[in-house]
């Protein structure tokens, strides 16, 4: 949340094109917008596996695995998932001020972001889903260490939902993480020129 540094009591700034403006006193400050890319997918899609090669392949963006904020947000009790997602949007907004886009790897859906407090500060937002066959996902999940959860049927159902809901589907079934990272980087660069606000 941005606040006017002149007004008393506190007034939240409003987004207007590429500035933030105080509705009371007219103060403005820069508020750039850069694209946000969400690489979603059910568990077993390969999101975490591509983090390192994707970060290396996309130096023009900042890449995060959204799971990194789960532990810090658990310290005061159960995770508030809307607050968790809103925190990531704030991070993306901060990164945009340096002129770079943000890539989030995480099981996010458009309807979970639209309407969050920080959503109105976002630039164009694009979703791609990493996908594989049910058999491949089952095998990947069964290979995981026991401390990770194994609700395989739930993950298969979520994967089917994402496959229907997200237009861009990138198949990771037989790729190495490096190959998938290259596919994602190519999609990010193609999509960067898109004039659509959300896709």
Which spans of this chain sit near Zn ion (rule: CB under 5 A)? 4, 6-7, 22, 24-25, 27
Instruction: Report the residue number, 22 or 113, with the smaller CB distance to Zn ion.
Output: 22
CA atoms within 13 A on the CB side of 132: 22
Instruction: Report the residue number, 7 or 87, with the smaller CB distance to Zn ion.
Output: 7
- Min separation Cβ 97 and Zn ion, Å: 20
- Min separation Cβ 15 and Zn ion, Å: 15
Instruction: Report the residue number, 14 or 134, with the smaller CB distance to Zn ion.
Output: 14
Based on the number of CB atoms within 10 Å of its own CB, is 177 exposed (0-12), middle (13-18) or buried (19 or more)? Answer: middle
Instruction: Report the residue number, 25 or 83, with the smaller CB distance to Zn ion.
Output: 25
Q: At what angle do helices 134-142 and 152-165 cross, to 10 degrees?
A: 140
Beta pairing class for 101-105 and 36-40: parallel
- Min separation Cβ 22 and Zn ion, Å: 3
Report the chain's terminal Cα–Cα distance, integer Å. Answer: 25
């Amino acid at each position: 949340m941005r606040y006017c540094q002149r007004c008393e009591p506190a007034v939240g700034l409003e987004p207007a094109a590429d500035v933030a403006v105080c509705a009371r006193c007219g103060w403005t400050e820069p508020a750039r917008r850069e694209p946000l890319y969400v690489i979603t997918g059910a568990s077993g899609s390969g999101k975490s596996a591509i983090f390192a090669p994707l970060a290396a392949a996309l130096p023009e963006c900042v890449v995060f695995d959204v799971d990194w904020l789960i532990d810090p947000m658990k310290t005061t009790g159960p995770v508030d998932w809307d607050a968790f997602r809103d925190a990531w949007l704030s991070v993306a907004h901060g990164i945009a001020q340096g002129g770079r886009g943000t890539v989030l790897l995480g099981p996010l859906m458009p309807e979970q972001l639209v309407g969050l407090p920080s959503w109105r500060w976002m630039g164009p937002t694009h979703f791609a889903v990493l996908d594989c066959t049910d058999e491949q996902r089952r095998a990947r999940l069964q290979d995981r260490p026991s401390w990770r959860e194994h609700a395989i049927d739930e993950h298969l159902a979520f994967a089917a939902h994402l496959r229907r809901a997200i237009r861009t589907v990138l198949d990771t079934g037989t790729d190495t993480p490096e190959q998938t990272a290259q596919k994602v980087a190519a999609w990010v660069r193609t999509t960067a020129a898109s004039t659509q606000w959300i896709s």
